[in-house]
Amino acid sequence: MTLSRTALAAVFVSAFGLLPALAGAQGIVRHKIPNSDFPIAQAVTLPAGTTIHFISGQVPPAVDKAADPNSLAAFGDTRTQTVGVLTKIQDVLKGMGLTMGDVVKMQVFLVGDPAKNGKADVAGFMEGYTRFFGGPQPNLPARAVVQVAALSNPGWLVEIEVVAAKK
């Protein structure tokens, strides 16, 4: 019995469990973290022909314009700043015809919070983050969160940059 190249390839792909990966190659694939419901992707695969958008780091808007513009009082705590920053990113994306669901990569910079003994308030960040990712909007980005010594304004605790992609 002789198999055509196509049939042989199908047998090979099927035998080695590659069929699901190839089937997903038509669209953006977000790889879940095994055995986890943590709201980030372990990895994201972009197929050929995907348009990639790099969104510059966004910083929080002032929530108290009467406060010193170089103070935490002007910008709020980590949760408040995270929501403000992600709302700004959402607005930038909307202006480009994109949504938060198109975000495939996120880099988060957190400054240590004086109220947390100089440690980054990751819990506060996650409270703000999960308002945008992991709930009704299920497309999760690959993400890194790092604590930095400072941002350019002493009142800022959060800066976030993202990469969005759309097929």
84-130 pLDDT tens trace: 999 999 999 999 999 999 999 999 999 999 999 999 999 999 999 99
User: Is pLDDT of 83 > 80?
Assistant: yes
- Would you call 78 helix, strand, or coil by DSSP? helix
φ, ψ (nearest 5 deg) of residue 136: -65, -25
Burial of 17 (0-12, 13-18, 19+ CB in 10 A): exposed
Q: Which residues of 139-153 are buried (b: 16+ CB within 10 A; e: fewer)?
A: bbbbbebeeeeebeb
pTM of the model: 0.84
When pLDDT is cut at 50, 70 and 90, the band that residue 135 belongs to is: confident
Q: Is 11 a residue whose pLDDT tops 60?
A: no
**What phi and psi values does residue 51 have, to the nearest 5 degrees?**
-90, 130
pLDDT per residue as tens digits for the range 12-67: 334 344 434 443 447 999 999 999 999 999 999 999 999 999 999 999 999 999 99
Q: What is the pLDDT of residue 39?
A: 96
Give the pLDDT band of residue 136 (cuts 50, 70, 90): confident
What is the model's pLDDT at position 26? Answer: 75
Give the pLDDT score at 12.
Answer: 39
pLDDT at 1 over 50: no
**Statement: residue 8 has pLDDT above 80:** no
